Amino acid sequence: MDRDRPCHKAIAQSILRFFEQGLVLDDRATHFIDSTFMTPSGNDIRCLLETECDDRDLLLSVAVVPDNRLRLEAEAILQDSDEKCADAKSVTALMPDRINTAIIFPDSRGKIPCVVPKSVAAGLVLQLCISVKTPPQIWMEVEKKLGADRDLRLATLSMIRNARLPASRERILFVAAFVKMADIRDADTFLDRLGLVLRLAARSPGAGMFDVMAAEKAACMRALRKSKDVEKQLEKNNIETMMLKGKGGLLCVDREELLREIRDIDIVSMTVFGKIPHSANAGSPHDVVYDVSFEKKLDGR
């Protein structure tokens, strides 16, 4: 292990600063802790953290999660290095055996001091995906498209690094083609659509990307139709009756989110393939034709 590489030391220092600032829990992590440990008080949490047991390790695993700031700091360090990646074990080796920090709840329980063992810190290092190399086809398109906007470039590369893309030429070229041809005038919209692209690229490795998007669009359409059916049934039944009939889950559907995802699927598909998937086409054999199409676009042909 090469602990002396500047990027290893820089990432280790960034992680230690992360611990110094405290582990801020979001609503999702807080809900998990409350539902798992029956809404523990601050004193309950302190007692649990002082005991070496599986419950303590579970609590720490929920709290010790890299935030976006740490991911971006790590990405900036990696992009300034020659290899664009680092060895996770070498970074972990630079960490102390015990790290003083605090878990910060968003409610009255406030800030609770704790000690994080090196084994848990090692898990944090792995979550940063610093050992992952961004596929060169994608990296080159990001550099060409976003080279002048450092913040957007780092955010894009960080998302791609943490997406854990499958080692598939088709998926890699799909992501590269999207980056090359996407509209980046609104950074937030671009990153939202990139998130959709990466999420879909990680699915169904044996299927063509056009079919994956068509299937996702079909699923969104089905959920929308079901939510409309539920609305009609609510006119005839109260919520308690709907819950008893097993329809309660559909009451939580975010129709605006579904509509936005359908729109974004269409935009991504038009951007990369030049066509919009019809939900009825999910599973049809379009992948070979469309793969050739976006390879040509990526190569500038």
The pLDDT assigned to 205 comes to: 75
Tokens for 259, please give them. 């509509």
- Sequence-distant (6+) residues with CB within 8 A of 68 are 158
Q: Which two tokens mark 138?
A: 């994608």
Q: Compute the distance between CA of residue 282 and CA of residue 214 in angstroms, rounded to an integer.
A: 5
Res 294: pLDDT:
47
d(CA 227, CA 254): 9
Examine the pLDDT at 290 and tell me if it is beyond 50: no
Cα-based angle 280, 284, 288 (whole degrees, multiple of 5): 140
Distances (CA, A) of 20 to 14, 62, 127, 160, 221: 10, 17, 18, 27, 46
pLDDT at 243: 53
The stretch 243-272 carries a mean pLDDT of 79
Residue 103: which H helix or E strand, with range? strand 98-104
Euclidean distance between CA atoms 71 and 11, whole angstroms = 10
Q: Which amino acid is at 22?
A: G
Grade residue 255 by pLDDT with cuts at 50, 70 and 90: confident
For 21, the token pair is: 């600032």
Residue 137, H or E segment: helix 136-146
| β-strand pairing of 98-104 with 111-117 | antiparallel
Residue 108: CB atoms within 10 A of its CB come to 7
User: Residue 122 pLDDT > 60, yes or no?
Assistant: yes
Nearest one of 257, 294, 261 to 175, comparing CA atoms? 294
Q: Which residues pair with 112 in a beta bridge?
A: 103
Taking the whole predicted model, whether its pTM rises above 0.75 is answered as yes
pLDDT over threshold 60, residue 297: no
State the Cα–Cα distance between residues 42 and 7, nearest whole angstrom: 38
